[in-house]
Structure 1
Amino acid sequence: MNNIKINDLKYFVAACIGILLYSCVPTQKVREENKTVPKTYANNNVDTLNTAKTNWKNFFSDINLISLIDTALVNNQEMNIMLLKVDMFKNKIKAKKGEYLPFVNFYGGAETEKVGAYTRNGSVEEQLKIDDEEFPDPLSNYSLGISASWELDIWKKLRNEKKAAVFEYLSSVEGKKFMTTNLVAEIADTYYELLALDNQLDIVNQNLEIQKNALKIVKLQKQAAKTTELAVRRFKAEVLKNQSEKLEIEQQIVVTENKINFLIGKTPQKVTRKSDDFLATAIDSIYEGVPSQLLQNRPDIRKAEYELAAAKLNTKVARANFYPSFGIKAGVGLESFKTKFLTNTSESLAYSLVGDFVGPLINKNAIKAAYKNANDMQLQSIFEYEKTILSAYIEVSNELSNIKNLKNIYDLKEQEVDALTESIQLSTRLFKAARADYLEVLLTQREALDAKIELVETKKEQLMANVAVYKSLGGGWN
């Protein structure tokens, strides 16, 4: 009867400890992420045809630009660093996978021990003999065998760590894709910047020729007493001003070329390009599809999604730390104080089997803090995910509006350039006939130069806007 009561008491105590451990585990609810986006953009287009699906080699038509991007994807240092980071996350999966499998090790050892004769161990050794031989003094010990240990993953802590590592790896892959998208866009933008500078340099050179001819005319008119030295000085100053602008553009060309060389991993050298037909470059149509496609096409959104998934699993891992861990340890081998006895398997055989569990009971502040941090990081990942989705939608909306407005701006600038180009010829004829002041000629030339440069800038902005929409839709990495 007493034995039954004792056993009942043991079960009752064990049950109380289990309930106590479970009740001490805190819970913290974190809201679900909001991934809703509007059904359409501002133009209310519901067509799912999306330019983001276009391979970047098909999106760009300039063979020189395609060659530069190809080179950058192989040689760019930041890209290669990112590839190594992806590989490290992949290795982390293997490490985490191995943690919930048994660890098996082999061991071998030799040691020597001398104990005092008037100790318990010493007095025992004096009495004992093996094969009529006294214990050696000092006593040696030789061992050889294998050992194994295994943590039973009852609470799925180790498996969740491995799954979290998988999501972190997938996040790094999406990060690499996002870097590819940014690299493709940056090279394209810089390349168009270079073409625009080439055209601006041509415009300044053409304007310089016009102004030098005008300066000759003014000098002749001064000799004929039809104008003054002031007009000569003003025309000469305008020529000098354009010469300095020419030097500034040439310096910008050097810097822009070197930026491209840096992106493609090469030392400064001439960048192959064709700038002659820059203003005639066609602006391809963009198909934006529907906003929901951003969730699949944008690498940064998918990266944030995988980071959120990893954060959720890390929260489960942190919560599992409140529960006891169960482990099994086992070993088998040979052990003897003389090497010759190691061959006597039955006598030298040694083995062990241990099962244990360990769980936190008092002073769990560190575990509680880690769990709260994991929850906070999960909530932070939710905000990051939602922010990335919202930012992507606004990005696309802005760029679609930009493309539309730039088209109208370019048409107006083109008309302005045509009108001012005609004005240059007209003002020069009037000046020769003494029917226009030299200031009118100078102002017309300056306005025409500015308008032509602005036209080139607008064309560059149009091309960059197309690249920006392609990038914001999630294109450029595939």
Structure 2
Amino acid sequence: MAVVDERRFRMTIMKHTILIVSAVLSLSGCGVYRPYSRPQVETDGLYRDIPIEDTATMASLSWRELFADAQLQTLVEKGLERNTDLRIARLRVEEAEAVLKNARLAYLPPLSLNLEWGVSRRGGAVSNTHTPGALASWEIDIFGKVTNAKRGARAALEGSRAYEQAVRTRLVATVANSYYTLLMLDRQLAVQNRTLATWEKSVKVLEAMRLAAETADKPIAEV
């Protein structure tokens, strides 16, 4: 019996050992992602050398610096205030910021408070009892669920901000293009009006010359 009990004890120890090793291996194999590391890329000699003083481009300037016309600036400001697409883009940015904030708060333990209240009676005396309680729980991010959610929320926020900037840039460009096109058409209309006035004067002069020529060809008696 002692030998049988010893074998059973050894078998139990071996089973527990196998279970522990399997659990450790499964936990170590659950890392389905790796931290991103930027690959090393050799860029020497691929591009021409750009002087430092030439690195400032139009992309680094605001639209107010590009378009100094006061009337155009007023039109652009009204467009930015009243455009529906830009409002939707701003709401998307606010939504993405709220999602990112919620993802950051996921690292904190959730807290719950409860209050127990009771009444007891002893010897004709009534007493109230209050028992406050609090509970906090913490979830270990073993599988990277919270981390991946945070990274996804940050990427979504950056995408929303880029979309808002694209909508803003397109709107400013559209207003400026329409404004300058209208100015060009006004100038062309003014030129056409001046040309028409010049042609009308030329026609009057030619008509006067024709009448003068006809009068000169008539006999004096007829005159």
TM interval, short-chain normalised: 0.5 to 0.7
Structure 1 CA distance, aligned partners of 2:27 and 2:102? 30
Q: Which runs of structure 2 are paired with 1:65-464 in the superposition (5 Å)?
A: 65-106=72-113, 148-216=136-204
**What is the letter of the counterpart of residue 191 of structure 2?**
I
**What 5-or-longer segments of structure 2 have no aligned partner?**
1-5, 116-131, 215-223
Structure 1 CA distance, aligned partners of 2:175 and 2:204? 44
Structure 1 CA distance, aligned partners of 2:27 and 2:141? 17
Give the conservation status (yes or no) of the 8 Å contact 2:67–2:73. Answer: yes
Structure 2 CA distance, aligned partners of 1:107 and 1:179? 49
Q: 1:170 to 1:23 in 2, by over 3 A?
A: closer
Q: 1:49 to 1:100 in 2, by over 3 A?
A: closer
2:14 corresponds to 1:8: yes
Show CA shifts across 1:395-441 (max 9, x none): xxxxxxxxxxxxxxxxxxxxxxxxxxxxxxxxxxxxxxxxxxxxxxx
Structure 1 CA distance, aligned partners of 2:83 and 2:187? 28
Scaled by the length of structure 2, the TM-score of the pair is 0.63
- Report which structure shows greater RCO (CA 8 Å, sep ≥6): 1
**Aligned to 1:152, what secondary structure does the other structure show?**
coil
Show CA shifts across 1:325-373 (max 9, x none): xxxxxxxxxxxxxxxxxxxxxxxxxxxxxxxxxxxxxxxxxxxxxxxxx
**Aligned to 2:139, what secondary structure does the other structure show?**
strand
**What 5-or-longer segments of structure 1 have no aligned partner?**
109-143, 227-478
Match of 1:56 among 30, 43, 63: 63
**What is the letter of the counterpart of residue 210 of structure 1?**
T
Structure 2 CA distance, aligned partners of 1:38 and 1:210? 60
1:424 aligns with none
Give the conservation status (yes or no) of the 8 Å contact 2:30–2:143. Answer: no
Show CA shifts across 1:160-192 (max 9, x none): 311331232233223333333333322222221
The Cα shift of 1:193 comes to 1.1
The number of equivalent residue pairs is 187
**Aligned to 2:159, what secondary structure does the other structure show?**
helix
Identity of aligned residues (%): 27
Structure 1 CA distance, aligned partners of 2:160 and 2:181? 31
Structure 1 CA distance, aligned partners of 2:201 and 2:209? 12
Structure 2 CA distance, aligned partners of 1:69 and 1:38? 40
Give the conservation status (yes or no) of the 8 Å contact 2:31–2:143. Answer: no
**Aligned to 2:77, what secondary structure does the other structure show?**
helix
Q: 1:107 to 1:172 in 2, by over 3 A?
A: same
Structure 2 CA distance, aligned partners of 1:103 and 1:181? 42
The Cα shift of 1:92 comes to 0.4
Structure 1 CA distance, aligned partners of 2:136 and 2:102? 18
Q: 1:20 to 1:85 in 2, by over 3 A?
A: closer
Structure 1 CA distance, aligned partners of 2:104 and 2:32? 28
Q: 1:55 to 1:98 in 2, by over 3 A?
A: closer
Show CA shifts across 1:118-163 (max 9, x none): xxxxxxxxxxxxxxxxxxxxxxxxxx97655442212332023113
Q: 1:11 to 1:38 in 2, by over 3 A?
A: same
Structure 1 CA distance, aligned partners of 2:33 and 2:96? 30
1:39 aligns with 47
Choose 1 or 2 for highest CA Rg. 2
Please, what is the CA RMSD of the aligned residues? Answer: 4.1
